[in-house]
């Protein structure tokens, strides 16, 4: 559900910033990749690390 909401907001505003804890970020990243989004091979695991994911379609 969180991934659905992030995608919905990204489609509406063309980009989104999501700040969350490591395990939540990991699961959302995994789901984004499953849906065709591109990003780093591994989700960041250290404090204050970030990653960027790109949609398979242009909004």
Q: 32: buried, middle or exposed (CB in 10 Å: 19+, 13-18, 0-12)?
A: buried
The pLDDT value recorded for residue 59 is: 63
Q: Indicate the pTM of the whole model.
A: 0.84
pLDDT tens for the chain, residues 1 to 59: 999 999 999 999 988 999 888 888 889 999 999 999 999 998 877 778 889 999 998 76
- The number of angstroms, rounded, from the C-alpha of 42 to the middle of its chain's C-alpha atoms is 12
Distance, CA of 6 to CA of 37 (rounded, Å): 12
């Amino acid at each position: 559900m969180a991934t659905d909401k992030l995608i919905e907001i990204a489609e509406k505003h063309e980009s989104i910033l999501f700040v969350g804890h490591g395990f939540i970020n990991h699961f959302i990243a995994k789901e984004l990749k499953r849906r065709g989004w591109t990003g780093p091979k591994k989700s960041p695991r250290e404090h204050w690390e970030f990653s960027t994911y790109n949609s398979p379609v242009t909004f």
